[in-house]
Every structure is written in structure tokens, then in C-alpha cells.
Structure 1
Amino acid sequence: MSIQPPPFPVRSYKATMVDPVTLLPRDEREAALEAAGYNVFNLDSEDVFVDLLTDSGTGTMSNQQWAALFRGDEAYAGSDGFRELETAVEDVMGFDRIVPAHQGRGAENVIYGALVEEGDTVLNNAHFDTTRAHVAANGGDPVDCPVDGATDMHADDPFKGNFSVETARAVVDDVGADNVPVVVLTITNNTMAGQPVSVENTREVADFADSIDATLVVDACRFAENAHFVQQRETEFADASVADIAREQLSYADACVMSGKKDGLVNIGGFVGVADGQDELFEACRQRGILFEGFSTYGGMAGRDLAAFAEGLREAVEPPYVAERVAQVESLCEQLADRDVPVYQPAGGHAVYIDANEALPHIPREEFPGQAFVCELYREGGVRGVELGRFAFPETERADLVRLALPRRTYGPDHVEHVADTAEAVCERADEIPGLEIVSNSSMPELRHFSAELRPLD
């Protein structure tokens, strides 16, 4: 007799280490929330049952990555780990020169400090919080260029993360090409609900950047997830591997900025990758890296972390990892939709986004319905998410979204079901949920959601 495959997806890996979690009693969750100033960034990890605050550095490493940690070479200069990472970046992503950094925002500081000056305009399909802050901190004006329909929760477009070249040209006509030194393409587009970017659009953006003599930087934090979507949705690449698609898409960039805490599958690390022909940019980044991150063969990382990063990059583009990763996100999206929780569709590669304006229609935007929903997720079921609406982005006109970002290779189907049940319970008692007001703010509005404190309104 032949053994038939099970009627449900089975993960291609098993757990060899566990980390206990506990759902606190409701009254203790309420006390923790109040003590945190109704800002879930201030919660202690031990008080959280399912942590979907971010997918950045929160995933589970493989046994091969743990083995790499034990082989770590801690030499200050020229370590084995750096050479391994350098080779992995060239093999997987196509950049043969890198400037390591302790994480993605360190790499952003390196490259945008080298490229952006006072009065410049930086174009992006959509800036995320730290990217926007780094551009602003260097005197630049970060301008988003999403495609039509990117903010439509139900638009049936396979690449809602694309960059609108038409919008970008209008900005250039207004400010002048000489004032646009950098064009950024973020794949996947985190700010626009983790939606993917097509290779066709990448080519168009590269041509546009070339036409105005701007440097094209790809924010490649989730490059493997994006390549998976291209494989599934872009006809030209239906028969290509995720690894080949990734190299193709990144080949159009002059440079990339990378947080290893996403598709590098590590808990810390990042780098700037620089293409051939960009010698001046590489040297500028290398010098800034030495100044802000550390010597150019460790960049703020221990040698063992460099080695684990190199292994993680290779694993990220190998089947079946990325297909299983995206499938878990899709499963959460489907379960939320089945429970009538208003959710952005189709699902992105790393997170699911709930529309708090639709879920809590009685709360006006100035009372932060997204943050109110985030607080209620924790109060109801110990689930920590993050608001990406008016609280995180004070000037935004798009919906007040709540992001539920799934760590890689960490939670199982039972955790996903608990999250869906919790969100459903919050929606069922939506009328009872009050808005919020800020009682202590941040001096930098682009980053206020990390530290500001709030209180419920009567």
C-alpha cells in the first residue's frame, strides 16, 4: 500500500529547541498595558503570548546557522565570517562589494548619509519609518510614489507594491532632476502592506533613475519573499527559481541596503551592497561604515554573526523555505477574512494588515484607531502587533493599518488560529473600545510610535 500525503500542509522542518510562552491572566495584561503607556513597544517580552510586533530579527535559526556561530572567527580585521558573508552576498544577490553594519538602520545611515544632502528629494515606492527618518535626518525630503490602487484593501492587482514612475516624473518636473540624487525601490513594499514589486517594474524604475542620473538603491530586506511572488505571479518567471529571480531583480540596482534580520534569517546584522562601476559610492560607504559601525570587515557584528548571516542568505532562496513562509502569512490572512476581520488582500510576504478604520468606525483618525486596535489585541489575547497608520506616520492619508508580522520559522498553526480568534473577539466588541490621545511625544515625529505614550479617552 502507498502512503498518501496528508490533507494539510506539513512543515519541512522540526523543532529542536523550544521557548516556553505563557498567556497572562486578563487583569495582568491590562495592568501591563497601562504601565506601558498604551504603547506595546514598552511591553516586556515575557508578558506577550504571541509576538507579531515585527519579523525583524525575531525568527528561528537553523541548525546549520547555529553551527556557523560556533565556528565564528572573532578577528577584528579580515575574519573568516566576513569572507563567507561577502561570498554569499555575491552568490545570492550579485553584489561583490559589501559594507557590513549591525542591522538595517545602520546600513541606512551609511548609504543615505553618503548620498543625501540638505535640500535633496528622495523618491521611493514607499518609505518605511527608519528609511524616512534617515532621509529626513540628512536634510532630504522623502517622497512616496506608490501605484494607483496600492492603498485599496481589495484591489485585485498582483503587484500593488510597484513604484509609480509617472508620479516620480511629476515630482522631478517640480523639483528638478539635479535635486533627486537617489531613487529607492523597496521589495517587498513594507509600508504598502508588504506587497511585492515586479521585475518589469524594477526595469522601468532602473531606466527612470538612469534618465535623471540618480543612484538606484534597492531596499532588499525581503528580496527572497519578493522573488517568490514574482515566480507565482509574473508570467516571464513562472519556470525560474527563486534564487535566479532574486539575482535578476537585484541586477538592476546600483546598490542595495539590507537588514539581515528579515530574509537573512538572523537575529542581527545588515550591509550595504555596491555594484560594479560605483567605486566612489563604495568608498564613501566604507568610510562611513568605519566611522559609525566598525571596521569594514565586521561592521558592528561579531564574527559568529557574520557566519550565521552568510548561511541564512543561502537558505532564504532555497525551496521549500520561502514558499512555506509566505503560505503561513496567507493562512493568517484567510482566517481573518473568514472571521469578517477587515484585512488587506492579497496577503503580503511577511505580514497581514488589518484596517482599523473599518474595524473601529466610531473612532476618528485623530484618536488613533489603529493604536486602539493594537492595544485591544494585547488586552484580549496577549497578541502584540504594531500600528502603521496616523500614529506611526503622522502625515499619512492612507488607512490606519495594524500590522501582524510573523517571525520566520517560529509559530505554528495553533498560534495563527489564536491570533485570528483574538482579532475576531476585538471586532465583536468594537463599540466598547475608546480612542487614545498622546500624553508624551517624541522629538522626532517620524519615530514617535517607538516611544510616545498614550491614554484612553473617556
Structure 2
Amino acid sequence: MELPFAESYKIKMVEPIYKSTREQRKEWIKQANYNLFNLRSEQVFIDLLTDSGTGAMSQNQWAAIMTGDESYAGSSSYYHLKDAIKNILGFDYFLPTHQGRAAENVLFSVLVKEDDVVPGNSHFDTTKGHIEYRKASAVDCTIDEAFDTESLHPFKGNLDLNKLEAVYSTHPAEQIPMVIVTLTCNTSGGQPVSMQNLRDVHTLSKKYGIKVVFDSARFAENAWFIQQREDEYRNSTIKEIVAEMFSYADAMTMSSKKDGIVNIGGFIAMKDEELLKQASVFNIMFEGFNTYGGMAGRDMNALAVGLDEVTTGYYLENRIQQVAYLGNKLIEWGIPVQKPIGGHAVFVDAKKFLGHVPKEEYIAQTLAIELYLEAGVRGVEVGTLLADRDPKTRENRYPKLEMLRLAIPRRTYTNNHMDVVAVALKNIFDRREEIDHGYRIKKEAPIMRHFSVELEHAEKGRKK
């Protein structure tokens, strides 16, 4: 008999979590104005809101924290991280920041100006926010297969080269500061980009003189999918694949809270020293001196170890196996999800799950609230709320995909927790016709509204 899969680590410390009642959760979500971001952590049983900064660090990372150098300038921890970035990712220059959106803010302050056009593959919410805040436009060039949740295309994060060239050929190069390739592509379902596509995007971009920038939050998960799904790389190590991936980028931003396996931190890395000099001005203004940016020395130490661990040994198999475990359980029960299962999260197709709820009533948010009420599980809407309003018309943008994202923290929950999530969704699926309304907005911010939006039951605003 073949031995079953088991995690290649054991648990050394545990954190208690509280099991609430449905009545408690009903009152808590009402007090939170039906926005799951507003819940207190102790009001959540299983927290799948994000995998960003919520994972468990290894014993080697904790040991590295104890040797952090907190010198304001010239910290040895900075040089440990600099060496890791050079050796693993191949970039000569980098600037530490406190997280990924800070890296975007610094880099885009150099590169993006009003009326610019920034193509990419389903830009992440903060990426699009930083672009549109500067009165530029983000253009989605993702392949069409990404928007068919039943398609089994192995690389749904790929950019459509025809769409990309259409952007390049209809705008002057000086109006296109970069193309952004998100690895893996979060907004389309944690879907990977193939090595061939990275190579082709690089070749096309160099033809038009456009910079290639990777949003690299989940670069290691992307490398794992390349190893598993591209025959040419079956026998390559993750480190070898990562090195080739980044050979096709001029610069990168990183939210280290994902594939850095740390609780805080980020960075910008680049191959051009002149870009480093320009970005340094904004990094010092927004983040801190260049050898610490927005990070403590101890966190830079932990990140240097994390970048090595995420590209070595057992980590990726354990990580992606658990995400697949939850996804396959939902598929088995007929619950519609984005296929194939992505690297960091399971994305439930809310339109197919709650198709009778009007799109104006925020279908994915409605499903997220139902899941919290059912079992105290917190997910996040990746749909109309996140898509925000058109900056010119101020009308809602209705994306092709309306998803409930269940992002799984790294090395944090067991498969028993995944079973609870799966059964909770099955219970809701079985009674889905009873959910006869969604929600409407009471109050919202002018940009990236999903973080702070206040909602109420839509039935209150319906005409009798």
C-alpha cells in the first residue's frame, strides 16, 4: 500500500482560536457593517482573508531574528538580504520597504505619470490603485481562458501576446512605463505564468523598448507550477527555474509577506543602477534610509532565510498540496471553483454559486458573509467591490470573474480546518436558493473601497 502524503514538519507551538456561535457571528458582522475586514481576529475561527503575513515562520527564521542588526545605516542584516536577493533572484540592486504596496508606491513614483498606460495580467488591487491614483490606466492583457473557471488551461496567468502588442503598437513607448507580470496571478485565481510566456513577453517588450516588471509576491509557487506543468523543466530545481524566470525581468516588486514567509516586509529589486538612484529618493522619503527601508534588521534576517527555504526542499509541495486538498474536496461536492486549483488560495465562482443574486448586490461579498455566519470562516471578495468604480464615470466595474477567495496561510492550519471550510461551503451550497438578497453600499472610500466599505442588507433599499 502506498503511504499517504504527510507534512514534512511538526508543530512546536500552538495558538488557541475561539469557536463562536452563529448568534454571536450574526451580531459581530452587523457591527462590522458587513465588511469582513472590520472583524476582530478573535471573532474569526478559521481566517482565510489573506495569506499575506499570516503564515508560521520556521525555527531557522526565528533564530535569525535573534541575530538581527538594528543599526540605522549599514546593518549586516541588510547585506544578508542583499546577498540572498542576488544569489536567488539575480538582481544586483534592491531597496527594502515595509510591504509590497510600499514597493509599488516607491517604484511607481519614479516610473508612472498621468495618462500613462500600464498593461499586465489582471493587476492586483493595490497595483491598480497606485496606477489609477497617478491618473494612469491599467490594461488587462490576461488570456481569455483565465475567465472560464472550468477551463483546465495549465497557465491561466499568461498574458495574451496579441492583446499586449495591441497596447504597445497603439501608444508611444514613452507612455508605457512598464508591463507588469504578476506571479502567480492572484486576481485570476492564483494562476501561474509559464516560462515560455515570460520569455515571449520579455522578447516582445524589448522589441518595443518597454521595461518588464514582475509583481513577485508568489514567485516560488509560480516556479513550482512551471516545474510540474512544463515538460522542459521537470528535472530543474526550483532555484534554477527562479533564476531563469527573473532573467526576463528588468525589475521586481515583492510583498515578502507571501513567498518570503515573514510577517512584514517587502522590497524593490532592479538591474539598472540609475533606476536604483531615482527610486532611492522616494524610498528615503516614504520608507527610511536605504539599508533598512521600512524593515527592522531582524525581519530582514528572517526574510533572507525565508527566500532560501521557499526555494529549497519540502516547503512548496506541502504548501500547494494543502491548497489542492481543499479545492479538490469542493470540486468533489460540485461546488464551482476556478480550475486548476491555484497556488495560494481556492477561488469559489460566486456567480455560479449564487447566480440568482443580482450583480448590483455584490454576489461574492454575499457568499463571503454567508460563510462567516455558517462557520466563523473569513474569506475575501475578489469581485465587484474590489474592482472599484471607473475613475471617470464613477460607475461600478463588473469584472468577468466574481470570486470568493479562500487564501490559506502558510504552515498555519491543518487539513481538519480545511474540512470545516469545505463542509461549511457545502451546507451553504445546499441551501443557496434560500439566500434571496445581497448587500448595498452605505459608505465607501474613493479608491480601494473594499478595505473600509460599509454595507447593509440590499432588501432595505429594494422597492416593495
TM range (shorter): over 0.9
Would you say 1:381 and 2:375 are equivalent positions? yes
Would you say 1:102 and 2:105 are equivalent positions? no
Secondary structure in structure 2 of the residue aligned to 1:66: helix
Equivalent residue, structure 1, for 2:132:
136
Equivalent residue, structure 1, for 2:392:
none
Alignment of 1:71-220 (within 5 A): 71-220=67-216
The alpha-carbon deviation at position 5 of structure 1 amounts to 6.4
The alpha-carbon deviation at position 302 of structure 1 amounts to 0.8
Equivalent residue, structure 2, for 1:296:
290
Alpha-carbon separation, structure 1, partners of 2:173 and 2:101: 27
Alpha-carbon separation, structure 2, partners of 1:396 and 1:76: 46
Equivalent residue, structure 2, for 1:336:
330
Alignment of 1:443-454 (within 5 A): 443-444=446-447, 447-454=448-455
Would you say 1:312 and 2:306 are equivalent positions? yes
Equivalent residue, structure 2, for 1:420:
422
Which residue identity does 2:286 align to in structure 1? F
The alpha-carbon deviation at position 323 of structure 1 amounts to 1.2
Equivalent residue, structure 2, for 1:347:
341
The alpha-carbon deviation at position 138 of structure 1 amounts to 2.1
Of 356, 361, 372, the match for 1:362: 356
Alpha-carbon separation, structure 2, partners of 1:405 and 1:231: 22
The alpha-carbon deviation at position 399 of structure 1 amounts to 2.2
Tell me if the contact between 1:48 and 1:383 (Cα under 8 Å) persists in the aligned partners.
yes
The alpha-carbon deviation at position 391 of structure 1 amounts to 1.4
The alpha-carbon deviation at position 422 of structure 1 amounts to 0.8
Alignment of 1:318-329 (within 5 A): 318-329=312-323
Alpha-carbon separation, structure 2, partners of 1:330 and 1:262: 18
Of 37, 47, 51, the match for 1:51: 47
Which residue identity does 2:444 align to in structure 1? N
Alpha-carbon separation, structure 1, partners of 2:306 and 2:173: 39
Which residue identity does 2:57 align to in structure 1? M
Q: Deviations over 1:102-134 (max 9, x none)?
A: 000010101111111111100111101000011
Q: Unpaired segments of 5 or more residues in structure 1?
A: none
The alpha-carbon deviation at position 430 of structure 1 amounts to 1.1
Would you say 1:259 and 2:255 are equivalent positions? yes
Equivalent residue, structure 1, for 2:280:
286
Tell me if the contact between 1:122 and 1:180 (Cα under 8 Å) persists in the aligned partners.
yes
Alpha-carbon separation, structure 1, partners of 2:290 and 2:205: 28
Query: TM-score normalized by structure 2?
Result: 0.95
Secondary structure in structure 2 of the residue aligned to 1:330: helix
The alpha-carbon deviation at position 280 of structure 1 amounts to 1.6
Tell me if the contact between 2:188 and 2:401 (Cα under 8 Å) persists in the aligned partners.
no
Of 392, 397, 400, the match for 1:398: 400
Tell me if the contact between 1:344 and 1:355 (Cα under 8 Å) persists in the aligned partners.
yes
* Aligned residues between the structures: 450
Which residue identity does 1:55 align to in structure 2? D
Give 4+ residue runs of structure 1 displaced > 4 Å after superposition. Answer: none
The alpha-carbon deviation at position 304 of structure 1 amounts to 0.5
Query: TM-score normalized by structure 1?
Result: 0.97
Equivalent residue, structure 2, for 1:442:
445
Alpha-carbon separation, structure 2, partners of 1:366 and 1:375: 16
Alpha-carbon separation, structure 2, partners of 1:304 and 1:232: 34
Which residue identity does 1:196 align to in structure 2? P
Alpha-carbon separation, structure 2, partners of 1:348 and 1:53: 16
- Give the % identical residues: 45
The alpha-carbon deviation at position 29 of structure 1 amounts to 0.6
The alpha-carbon deviation at position 179 of structure 1 amounts to 1.2
Secondary structure in structure 2 of the residue aligned to 1:99: strand
Tell me if the contact between 1:181 and 1:213 (Cα under 8 Å) persists in the aligned partners.
no
Alpha-carbon separation, structure 2, partners of 1:367 and 1:69: 46
Q: Deviations over 1:380-428 (max 9, x none)?
A: 0000000001111032431211100000011101000000011111111
Secondary structure in structure 2 of the residue aligned to 1:420: helix
Q: CA RMSD in A?
A: 1.1
Alpha-carbon separation, structure 1, partners of 2:251 and 2:446: 31
The alpha-carbon deviation at position 171 of structure 1 amounts to 2.0
Alpha-carbon separation, structure 2, partners of 1:357 and 1:252: 36
Tell me if the contact between 2:387 and 2:399 (Cα under 8 Å) persists in the aligned partners.
no
Alpha-carbon separation, structure 2, partners of 1:100 and 1:286: 10
Alpha-carbon separation, structure 2, partners of 1:84 and 1:96: 13
The alpha-carbon deviation at position 176 of structure 1 amounts to 3.0
Q: Deviations over 1:292-347 (max 9, x none)?
A: 10000001111111100111010000121101101111111101111221111100
Alpha-carbon separation, structure 2, partners of 1:63 and 1:410: 14
The alpha-carbon deviation at position 373 of structure 1 amounts to 0.1
Which residue identity does 1:378 align to in structure 2? Y
Secondary structure in structure 2 of the residue aligned to 1:142: strand
Tell me if the contact between 2:265 and 2:299 (Cα under 8 Å) persists in the aligned partners.
yes
Equivalent residue, structure 2, for 1:249:
245
Would you say 1:12 and 2:8 are equivalent positions? yes
Q: Unpaired segments of 5 or more residues in structure 2?
A: 389-396, 460-464
Alpha-carbon separation, structure 2, partners of 1:245 and 1:390: 35
The alpha-carbon deviation at position 168 of structure 1 amounts to 1.3
Secondary structure in structure 1 of the residue aligned to 2:144: coil
Between 1:54-63 and 1:131-140, the stretch displaced more is 131-140
Secondary structure in structure 1 of the residue aligned to 2:145: coil
